[in-house]
Amino acid sequence: MSRLLRAIIISAYSALIFYFIKSLYSKEIKIEIQYIIRTPGTLRKLERDIKKNTGSYIQTNFTKPDRLYTDFKYILKWTEAFSHYNSRYSKLFKTGQQAFMDNNCTYRNCFVSNDKSLLGDLRYYDAILFDVENNWDRHPPVRAAHQKYIFTASESSGYYPICSSEFDGYYNLTWTYKLNSDIRWSYFTILDKEDNVVGPKVNVSWILPMNPTPDHVKKKLRLKKKAVAWFVSNCQSKKRRIVADNLAKSLNKFRLKVDIYGWCGNKTCPKNRLEDCLDLLQKSYYFYLAFENSMAEDYVTEKILYPTQHYAVPIVYGGADYGRFLPPASYIDAGKLNSDEVATLIAAAIKDRNVYEEYFRWHNYYVYKEQPPIADICQLCKSLHTEETKVVKNLRKWWNPQYKEICRHGSHFTDLNFY
């Protein structure tokens, strides 16, 4: 072999090695989209491997007996979606089929795992879940064309902004608290008296005008003697604390008080139990501060259930359009009024029982119920079987419309890292 030819070959190999190493470290690296063929034979082998490795058996005797292994959807939790410290989320994702079976889902032919090596190749998974709380984690190096990447979040976009442009066009489905998510994470549901779901929705059709407050509700309001209660343990949210402090000063002009229970106040409930706090709220307090710890569109948590389920008027503060979550004239929005205006409304309602009772007209028509976190798991499996693949083109703007302002000073969500 001539020296020239040898030099050419060495140069070519060197260039390939250099390109390979550069690609591993380049921030501009893109996911490789690949096709992977799944046949009934290969999937039967996968089923045997799953049984061997996890002891979880796949049930395939569904309502429609013609559903084959090729119609089975495998879901990988790339990050621990919805499974942070709060025990409320602990039962959301059981390994295997169990969650879909327990909830009698119409579509039960889905299998959940957090084992990246379970199927041997990441591209065998039909869907991969990514939690916004861990979006800086390393991401898959390859991606099959049939796979659906799902953006999941139960926490606020105010706490977890998305700043990297590489996330635009990266996901296929969204599963969050936002009302226009593909799959909606629900803290609570609003039902009518026939148990039909009314909201929360972007466009809620509230019944107007409403009939007078029913007598059985009025009876529950008669023993109240105290102005405002607030149960709060997170003292780091400065904005809502400032609003609460200003309201307390304004109420003092009317000789009324805000009683703060929990780590951020000087009051405790018997045995420090939330159930006892809520019982006290129902018996004694006219109003409750349903203040969110983060300002974000549609971010309204279970705090709204405290007053709605316990016969108190919610005073709300957050980034949501509360008309999507509460009937008209049933609440006071502290984000749209100053503290003196809010205090004046509170004092007027306490002074005139008829004025106070007007806030409860909605009880003629609606009921607020906590939405178990597990409820949306059925929609997850259904979406994988029924929805066509799409792309969330502008995730940053959808997730937080003010992302440019929020991301101006930088964020840890800057670039994708790959596994």
**pLDDT tens digits for 104-144?**
888 888 888 888 888 878 888 899 998 876 655 567 888 88
Structure tokens at 153: 């979040």
pTM: 0.79
Residues 233 and 260: their CA atoms lie apart, in Å, by: 10
pLDDT for the residue numbered 52: 52
CA angle 343, 346, 349 (to 5 degrees): 150
Closest CA to 326 of 343, 313, 342: 313
pLDDT for the residue numbered 252: 96
Domains with residue ranges and CATH for the chain: 40-51+58-186+374-409 (no CATH), 188-370 (3.40.50.11660)
Contact in structure between 129 and 152 (CB atoms under 8 Å) = yes
Does the CA dihedral 350-351-353-358 come out positive or negative?
negative
SS3 of the chain: the string is CCHHHHHHHHHHHHHHHHHHHHHHHCCCCCCEEECCCCCHHHHHHHHHHHHHHHCCCCCCCCCCCCCCHHHCEEEEECCCCCCCCCHHHCCCCCCECHHHHHCCCCCCCEEEECCCCCCCCHHHCCEEEEEHHHCCCEECCEEECCCEEEEECCCCCCCCCCCCHHHCCCCCEEEECCCCCCEECCCEEEEECCCCEEECCCCCCCCCCCCCCCHHHHHHHCCCCEEEEEECCCCCCHHHHHHHHHHHHHHHCCCCCEEEECCCCCECCHHHCHHHHHHHHHHHEEEEEEECCCCCCCCCCHHHHHHHCCCCEEEEECCCCHHHCCCCCCCEECCCCCHHHHHHHHHHHHHCHHHHHHHHHHHHCEEEEECCHHHHHHHHHHHHHHCCCCCCCCHHHHHCCCHHHHHCCCCCCCCCEEC
pLDDT for the residue numbered 134: 62
Contact in structure between 368 and 309 (CB atoms under 8 Å) = yes
Residues pairing with 197 in the sheet = 191
Residues 193 and 204: their CA atoms lie apart, in Å, by: 16
173-176 and 183-184 beta bridge pairing: parallel
Contact in structure between 285 and 228 (CB atoms under 8 Å) = yes
List the pLDDT tens digit at each of the 419 positions of the chain.
Answer: 566 556 555 565 555 544 444 443 333 334 444 444 444 455 555 555 555 544 444 444 333 333 333 478 889 988 765 544 444 455 556 678 878 887 888 888 888 888 888 887 888 889 999 887 665 556 788 888 889 999 988 788 888 888 888 888 999 999 999 999 998 888 899 999 999 999 999 999 999 999 999 999 999 999 999 999 999 877 777 889 999 999 999 999 999 999 998 877 778 775 567 888 899 999 999 999 999 988 889 999 999 999 999 999 999 999 999 999 999 999 999 999 999 999 999 999 999 999 999 999 999 999 999 876 556 788 889 999 888 888 999 998 899 887 777 777 554 444 444 44
CA angle 376, 378, 383 (to 5 degrees): 95
Structure tokens at 175: 């599963």
Structure tokens at 180: 């226009």
**pLDDT tens digits for 39-97?**
445 555 555 555 554 444 444 433 333 333 347 888 998 876 554 444 445 555 667 88
Closest CA to 150 of 105, 185, 183, 178: 183
Q: What single-letter amino acid sits at 315?
A: I
| Terminal Cα distance for the chain, rounded | 41
CA angle 39, 42, 46 (to 5 degrees): 130
